[in-house]
């Protein structure tokens, strides 16, 4: 434990959510005793008055901004306008009001969707402006990327201490398993388990299976965020990832194996693939605050499946 965790007041937006719940648990383990977790029913952070009221109530020294309107490809296609507006307003207003309120450090959580559609592999932080994001999630990615611009200019003009982290696709226990809004791993886990239970002969997967993705186990992501919160003090963006790249086809086959589904996998090529490849250069996180992921992908999948089975039993 260090005095950093004991001596500061923390506010974790989205702290009751998937990633946020692990961040809050790890904060407690580090010795943080003053942690404020605003709930959306009490503070709609899209609204300026709610942002100001939350800051007045929490009086934070450090804000970790995890709250987001987010979903998979289907949700992004359906809610492009809401995802753009909600995320832009939350991030911009919260950072500005935090600066005005004298918050000592602001930790902004961006998204891998901010990278160009055809970014060079692996994605390096310096290439984040080299093209337009993949169309299905560009509104969300661009809205979140504005926090990077804001972080840099507020540091330059005001000396405001804010950082911007770019986690890759997350997975793990407590994820969203709603088939309409979930990301790829929880959606596939649920599809496979339900098909197995119902004796279905096949499941449907979107696209053709050719895109690749990198995934980071949620507890590793929480660890990375808190390492950066304590040790990183620059506005240069930092990737958070595992360096493990897997094709969607291999991912589906692996999840089918872990869940025990032995039926056919049918690819619906009328559905979008999304970005062709995602793999991060994670050297900056290692250099700046000594983060490297520790969870083996298959082990993380097994933990996720086990958690979902416990919740649905």
Question: What are the residue numbers of the active site?
Answer: 140
Q: What single string gives the DSSP state of each residue in the chain?
A: --HHHHH--EEEETTTSHHHHHHHHHHHHTT---EE---TTT--TTSHHHHHHHHHHH--SEEEE-------HHHHHHSHHHHHHHHHHHHHHHHHHHHHHT-SEEEEE--GGGSBTTPPSSB-GGGTTSSPBPGGGHHHHHHHHHHHHHHHHHHHHH---EEEEEE-EEE-TT----TTT--HHHHHHHHHHHHHHHT-SEEEEES-S--EEEEEEHHHHHHHHHHHHHH----S-EEE----EEEHHHHHHHHHHHHT--SEEEEETTS---SS---B--HHHHHHH-------HHHHHHHHHHHHHHHH-
Say how far apart CA 114 and CA 123 lie, in whole Å.
11
Say how far apart CA 218 and CA 223 lie, in whole Å.
9
């Amino acid at each position: 434990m260090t005095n950093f965790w004991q001596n500061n007041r923390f506010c974790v937006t989205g702290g009751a959510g998937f990633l946020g719940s692990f961040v809050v648990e790890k904060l407690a383990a580090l010795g943080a005793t003053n942690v404020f977790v605003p709930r959306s029913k009490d503070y709609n952070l899209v609204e300026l008055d709610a942002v100001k009221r939350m800051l007045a109530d929490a009086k934070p020294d450090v804000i970790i901004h995890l709250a987001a309107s987010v979903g998979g490809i289907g949700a992004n296609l359906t809610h492009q306008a809401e995802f753009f507006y909600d995320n832009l307003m939350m991030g911009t207003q919260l950072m500005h009001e935090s600066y005005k309120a004298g918050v000592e450090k602001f930790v902004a959580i961006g998204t891998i969707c901010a990278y160009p559609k055809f970014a060079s592999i692996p994605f390096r932080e310096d290439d984040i402006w080299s093209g337009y994001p993949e169309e299905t999630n560009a509104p969300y990615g661009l809205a979140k990327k504005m926090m990077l611009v804001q972080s840099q200019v507020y540091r330059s003009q005001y000396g405001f201490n804010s950082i911007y982290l770019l986690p890759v696709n997350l997975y793990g226990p407590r994820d969203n398993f709603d088939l309409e809004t979930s990301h790829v791993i929880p959606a596939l886990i649920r599809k496979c388990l339900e098909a197995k239970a119902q004796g279905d002969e096949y499941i449907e997967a979107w696209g053709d299976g050719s895109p690749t993705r990198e995934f980071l186990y949620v507890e590793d992501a929480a660890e990375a965020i808190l390492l950066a919160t304590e040790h990183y003090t620059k506005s240069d963006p930092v990737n958070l990832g595992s360096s493990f790249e897997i094709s969607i086809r291999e991912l589906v086959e692996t999840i089918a194996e872990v869940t025990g589904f032995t039926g056919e996998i049918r690819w619906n090529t009328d559905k979008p693939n999304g970005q062709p490849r995602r793999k991060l250069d994670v050297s900056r996180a290692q250099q700046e605050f000594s983060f490297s992921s520790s969870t083996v992908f298959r082990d993380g999948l097994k933990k996720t499946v086990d958690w979902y089975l416990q919740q649905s039993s």
